[in-house]
Amino acid sequence: MTVRYEPLVTESLAKQVAEKIRGSITDGRLKADDQLPTEEELAQQFQVSRPTIREALKRLAAQSLIRSRRGPSGGTFVNRPSQEEVRSNLTTATALLVSLGEFSIPEILEARQDLELVCIRHAAQRREEPELAVMREEIEIQERSTVSDTDFCASDVRFHRAIADASHNPVLQFAMFTVIEALQPIENMVVFHVRQRDMIVKQHKKILAALSERKAGAAAQAVTEQMEYLRARFDEAHELRRARISA
Amino acid sequence: MTVRYEPLVTESLAKQVAEKIRGSITDGRLKADDQLPTEEELAQQFQVSRPTIREALKRLAAQSLIRSRRGPSGGTFVNRPSQEEVRSNLTTATALLVSLGEFSIPEILEARQDLELVCIRHAAQRREEPELAVMREEIEIQERSTVSDTDFCASDVRFHRAIADASHNPVLQFAMFTVIEALQPIENMVVFHVRQRDMIVKQHKKILAALSERKAGAAAQAVTEQMEYLRARFDEAHELRRARISA
DNA sequence: TTTAATTAATTTGCTTGACAAATATTATAT
DNA sequence: ATATAATATTTGTCAAGCAAATTAATTAAA
């Protein structure tokens, strides 16, 4: 008699259950807003206890693949993950990688320059009034001398996100946002240490002007200028740190 | 007497606990490989039950922020998330967004062309033997007529990942991998429906040759060619589908 | 004395059973 | 007919305990 061996399973039950359910979502058997069976029923189907089912569901909830509501019409439903949610998950993960030193500063700067150049070329073609309005607004904030360093940096992030938005390609936005967020702590360092806001604002104005007139070349030029400026400031900071260490 | 109101909390306990712990990881109070208190101790500290703590930990485990091991020397530890893990999480999330139609096919194709052009310019400068070897190997696989459609697509993905690798910028790799993975199901469609492998292999050879000789212009040209070819095939497929529907 | 096997201790993994809280439905009273 | 109250359903939480894995300590044997 032939025996079909099941694969040896060492994964935890909760993880297996989570994978099974995740599978039925990703392969389309469960669509957005579909309702899952109740925890009780799932427990029976998988032949595990309810807390185990709950651990599995929490894994999925952590990736905002599902949402739960209490009550008779409640239950667990497949989530339609918004780009926002996915992006925020991605951002925390990326920030962690950065903080662990997986990416070096020059690498981040290079990637950011490359990606922003791609975005700005499309932006020069496709930018609409709303994005220009955001940029104008942020420049105004950045010009106020009363604005704190933290707020200045936050405004800077919003300005560059507006550039990504103006590309009107959500995939590029997605990639760009990640790099912008990843760069933020580093950018904070610069602003805090170097305190050269005027230059940055001047460059932002140049970018805005070029986009307003749909001049792709000038916009690319302005972006390149700013990135080279940032790079120089970072090199300075690096020199300073080395000097301090060796002293 | 003045009263300080705590913010009204409607989030579930498990979620709050997870956020607290996540916070102490992302702000650096807990570093990689640090050990968390036992579930029992956490339950006491947060004044909740152990299953609630476990649900919280599972949320974090789902994002591979922590790992657990049983036994006396076991416990829960802060994970040093590898790029692989973060990427695989990101990939499933992105695939879901694609399957939900958050990104259109032309948008994905455009982003992929732009990003791959960025990668290939760096690759022409920095490519090393290992990446060229991978490309050669994959081309060889793709030339075999016995290879299944699925395997052909998988090899294609590996080929393009090698291009991203050759850029030697992990941030770009990160962004590029996402888009490649996102495109894969669509690419499968093309190969399955159009069955034009020769052309793709020919283009891959052109890319490899240009990279071998470090000719950035030729490499960019070859990439553009392939992307325009794919775009044309997709338009055809789209035409076909529309024709079928209207018929 | 050294080495191997056994035992004990610790920590996560899982189960059972129960109650609390939220929320829609249904029944009741005005 | 409408407002209110009771009820049923489902997730959220708790409690206590056993199982499994794994290391450290202990004991027995060579």
Nucleotides of C under 7 A from a protein CB: 8-18, 21-25
When mean pLDDT is compared across B44-53, B174-183, B193-202, the lowest value belongs to B193-202
Closest residue in chain B to residue A78, using alpha carbons only = B96
Q: Is the CB of A14 within 7 Å of strand C?
A: yes
Residues 6+ apart with CB under 8 A from B9: B16
Chain A contacts of B167, Cβ < 8 Å?
A: none
The CA distance from A72 to the nearest CA of chain B, in Å, is 18
Amino acid identity of residue B171, one-letter, is V
Amino acid found at B126: R
What element of type H or E holds A179?
helix A170-194
| Interface check A209 vs B, CB under 8 A | no
Within an 8 Å CB–CB cutoff, is residue B32 touching chain A? yes
Q: Give the confidence band of A195 by pLDDT, cuts at 50, 70, 90.
A: low
pLDDT at B233 over 50: yes
- At B92-108, the pLDDT tens digits run 778 777 777 788 888 98
Dihedrals phi, psi of A29, to nearest 5 degrees: -65, -35
Class of domain B83-246: mainly alpha
User: Would you say A234 and A185 are in contact if contact means Cβ atoms under 8 Å apart?
Assistant: no
- Does position A25 have pLDDT exceeding 80, yes or no? yes
DSSP string, B16-47: HHHHHHHHHHHTSSS-TTPBPPPHHHHHHHHT
**Averaged pLDDT, B211-238:** 90
The closest CB to that of A55, out of B58, B96, B118, belongs to B58
Query: Residue B217: what residue type?
Result: G
Hey, is B82 helix, strand or coil? coil
Q: Regarding predicted confidence, which is higher, B191 or A144?
A: A144
**Nearest alpha-carbon partner for A155 in A199, A201, A109, A198:** A201
Q: Give the pLDDT confidence of A80-138 residue by residue, as tens digits.
A: 877 777 787 777 778 778 877 788 888 989 999 999 999 999 999 999 999 999 999 99
Tell if A12 CB is < 7 Å from nucleic strand C: yes
DSSP code for A10: -
Q: Is the ipTM of this complex over 0.95?
A: no
Query: What is residue B240's predicted lDDT score, i.e. its pLDDT?
Result: 58
Instruction: Measure the CA–CA gap between A40 and A37, rounded to whole angstroms.
Output: 8
Q: Given this model, what pLDDT does residue A247 score?
A: 41
> With respect to CATH, is domain A13-78 assigned 3.40.50.150?
no
Q: Where on the phi/psi map is residue A231: left (φ > 0), alpha (ψ -120 to 50), or beta?
A: alpha
- In whole angstroms, D7 C1' to A73 CA is 14
Chain-wide mean pLDDT for chain A?
85
Q: Is the CB of A72 under 7 A from strand C?
A: yes
Interfacial B residues in 110-139 facing A (CB < 8 Å) = 110-112, 114-115, 118
pLDDT range class, residue A6, cuts 50, 70, 90: very low
Extract the runs of DSSP E, i.e. beta strands, from chain B.
66-69, 75-78
Q: Percent of chain B beyond pLDDT 90?
A: 34
Report whether pLDDT(B79) > 80.
yes
Answer whether residue A21 shows pLDDT above 50: yes
Which nucleotide minimizes the distance between its C1' and the CA of A61? Answer: D11
Query: Quick check: A97 and B83 CB within 8 A?
Result: yes
Domain boundaries, chain A: 13-78, 83-246
A194 has pLDDT over 80: no
Token look-up 């390609």 returns A169
Token duo for residue A122: 């499309």
